[in-house]
Structure formats: structure tokens, C-alpha cells
């Protein structure tokens, strides 16, 4: 059976994420600005790039290459169309992060926002080990109500199959898994959202 993310319409996903009651698209966009700017790197990789939210913060004077990885080919097509000014920097690759880790190139920085939830700790660790970055910046969603991890919205049924691939996230477990891959926690920030949810940014450095 195919991955549920290959079936979710991008407009349903983005319209859900930017609702005032959800506010995740806007919050992630702000976080990605700092993720791209903070570290002294020239290559980065966005895992789960979707339609390219946040790519407007890529500084072409800083970055030689920015990889965008996603399992949904339609998402990648949209990202390419939205950012023609990044055509010399942005390389978009359709890769299944669970089954095709060996296809991942190297990058100095990995950005993985609301991604680990959908592939699990071990698959994420294996992807990081293959990419071998100096820095890893993750954003995970923490839910007070573990039974309602998708916020209520008119688009709710677009996500019906995500239960098949969703993993509940714990900060300590992610940090432990990253430690197994040789990475140490260097940043921990919490950003509150509506509906009792929060986005937690966890950054790691190799060594």
C-alpha cells in the first residue's frame, strides 16, 4: 500500500495548517528562517519539503545547494514552480525516507520539521547517518491530547490515513536516538500553538 502522504492534496494540507485555530504553517515559516540562517553551512537538506513553505528564506549568497526531499512528486513539482529564483540552488528529490535512505546525498545541515512523526525515530536516525550533517534542526509536535493530534478543521478527513504512519513524539526519546547517531542537543525551544499543542524545536550537532 502506498504512503498516505502520496494521497494528501497539498492545498488541503496547507489550508489546514494555516487556519487561525492551527497556526502551524506560519509558525514553521518563522522557525525555518532561523533554521536556514543560524549555522555556518553552505549546503542544507529539508526533509519533508512539501510545497516549499519556508524556502523563501534561503539566502543564495550563503547556500550552494539546498536539497528538498519528499515522497510526494506533486508537492515537489509545486515547490519548483513556486521558487524559480532558486533554480540554481534548489535540488528536489523524490525519496522514500523509510525505504530509500541510500539515495540521500550529503548536506551540512538537515532541517526536519514535522517529519520525524511520520517515519519514526529509527528511520530518521538512519537517514541522518547517511546524510552525515554537522547540524540537525528538528521541529516536533507535542500534544496534550494524544488522541487528537490532528487539529479539528474542515480539512480533517484529508488526513484520515495518517494514523497508519504517525508516531507520538517525545523530546527525550528523540534526543536519545540522536545520541545513538553521535549527535548532541544544542538548542531546545518551545513554541505554543492553539488547541493546547506546541511545536518544540530541537537542534543537534555532531560530536
Answer for the pair 204, 35: CB distance below 8 angstroms, yes or no: no
Residue 22 confidence (pLDDT) above 80: no
Return the higher-pLDDT residue of 9 and 176.
176
Q: What percent of the chain has pLDDT over 90?
A: 71
What is the tens place of the pLDDT at every residue in 173-206?
999 999 999 999 999 999 988 877 889 999 999 9
Percentages helix, strand, coil for the chain (3-state, rounded to 5) are: 40, 25, 35
Question: Alpha-carbon distance 112 to 49, whole Å?
Answer: 9
Residue 1 confidence (pLDDT) above 80: no
Q: Which fold has domain 4-206?
A: Rossmann fold (3.40.50)
Give the start-to-end residue ranges of the domains of the chain: 4-206
What is the tens place of the pLDDT at every residue in 57-77?
999 999 999 999 999 999 999
Nearest to 28 by CA among 52, 47, 53: 53
Q: Which residues contact 139 (CB under 8 A, 6 or more apart)?
A: 28, 31, 112, 113, 114, 199, 200, 201, 202
What is the tens place of the pLDDT at every residue in 90-112?
999 999 999 999 999 999 999 99
Decide: helix, strand or coil at residue 66. strand
In angstroms, the Cα distances linking 62 to 40, 53, 71 are 9, 19, 27
Residues shown for the chain? 207
Read off the pLDDT of each residue in 52-57 and give the average, rounded to a whole number. Answer: 97
Look at phi and psi of residue 142 and say left if phi exceeds 0, alpha if psi is from -120 to 50, else beta.
beta
pLDDT at 145: 58
Question: Alpha-carbon distance 166 to 151, whole Å?
Answer: 14
Read off the pLDDT of each residue in 101-130 and give the average, rounded to a whole number. Answer: 97
Residue 52 confidence (pLDDT) above 90: yes
Residue 162 confidence (pLDDT) above 90: no
- Orientation angle between helical segments 73-82 and 10-17, nearest 10 degrees: 70
Q: Which helix (H) or strand (E) holds 81?
A: helix 73-82
Amino acid at each position: 500500500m502506498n504512503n498516505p502522504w502520496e494521497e494528501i492534496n497539498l492545498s488541503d494540507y496547507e489550508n489546514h495548517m494555516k487556519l487561525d485555530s492551527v497556526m502551524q504553517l506560519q509558525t514553521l515559516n518563522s522557525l525555518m528562517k532561523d533554521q536556514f540562517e543560524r549555522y555556518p553551512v553552505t549546503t542544507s537538506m529539508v526533509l519533508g519539503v512539501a510545497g516549499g513553505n519556508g524556502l523563501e528564506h534561503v539566502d543564495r549568497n550563503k547556500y550552494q545547494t539546498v536539497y528538498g526531499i519528499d515522497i510526494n512528486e506533486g508537492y515537489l513539482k509545486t515547490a519548483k514552480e513556486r521558487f524559480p529564483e532558486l533554480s540554481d540552488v534548489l535540488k528536489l528529490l523524490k525519496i522514500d525516507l523509510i525505504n530509500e535512505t541510500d539515495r540521500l546525498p550529503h548536506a551540512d545541515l538537515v532541517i526536519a520539521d514535522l517529519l520525524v512523526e511520520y517515519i519514526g525515530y529509527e528511520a530518521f536516525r538512519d537517514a541522518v547517518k547517511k546524510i552525515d550533517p554537522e547540524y540537525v534542526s528538528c521541529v516536533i509536535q507535542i500534544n496534550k491530547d494524544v488522541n487528537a493530534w490532528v487539529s479539528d478543521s474542515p480539512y480533517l478527513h484529508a488526513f484520515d490515513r495518517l494514523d497508519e504512519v504517525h508516531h507520538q513524539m517525545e523530546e527525550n526519546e528523540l534526543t536519545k536516538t540522536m545520541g545513538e547517531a553521535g549527535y548532541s542537543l544544542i538548542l531546545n525551544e518551545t513554541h505554543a500553538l492553539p488547541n493546547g499543542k506546541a511545536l518544540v524545536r530541537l537542534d543537534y550537532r555532531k560530536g
